[in-house]
Amino acid sequence: MVTQKSQYALRALFELARRIDSGPTRIEDIAKAQGIPQRFLEVVLNEMKHAGLVEARRGPRGGYLLGRSPRDITVGQIMESAQGRFTPVECLSDPSSADCLFKGECAFLSLWEEVRDAVAQVYESTTLQDLVEREDSRAEHVLDVVAEHAGGLGLGVDPASPPERANALDNMTGVCQGL
């Protein structure tokens, strides 16, 4: 199961990846953009800092930055730093503590191992850069739909023109995150 803490960690680092060219990002801005309680975000970012995934800068222009390129940080690294290795059932993480009548004789053990391995493969093969690119693609698609229908709506803007498209794309990326 993916914990709330892991989801917050992933969303926080995703936000830093989106803002990679903007310098340090204040914790308040990350919290607001991703809907994460600020006090909890402080704890999560501190753990990510200890894992080497983010850096903290002090001072009036301080904030948080990714510790490395978004291309070099996988979802798996973030998830493992936040909650440990993913296991779909308790008996895979600690067979001795699992409260199961079928310890060592479970017909489903190989199934659970396949699930664990499949999830790990997806996590390890997906980078923050992949997620940012997916988000940008989704926002581009929404703009294409808006541009296609804008003339009939009397919006007074042309979302297909380069300057207006760039502004709209920036705005849509934020809107799409809320969907």
The model's pLDDT over 123-149, given as tens digits with 9 standing for 90+, comes to: 999 999 999 999 988 777 677 777 676
pTM for the full predicted model: 0.77
Three-state SS letters, the chain: CCCHHHHHHHHHHHHHHHCHHHCCECHHHHHHHHCCCHHHHHHHHHHHHHCCCEEEECCCCCEEEECCCHHHCEHHHHHHHHHCCCCCCHHHHCCCCCCCCCCCCCCCHHHHHHHHHHHHHHHHHCEHHHHHHHHHHHHHHHHHHHHHHHHHHCCCCCCCCHHHHHHHHHHHHHHHHCC
Mean pLDDT, rounded, for 83-102: 78
Which pLDDT does position 99 carry in this prediction?
A: 72
Residues of the chain with CATH 1.10.10.10: 1-84
User: Of the given ranges (12-16, 40-44, 46-50, 85-89), which has the lowest mean pLDDT?
Assistant: 85-89
pLDDT digits (tens, 9 = 90+) for 8-42: 999 999 999 999 999 999 999 999 999 999 999 99
Assigned CATH for 1-84: 1.10.10.10
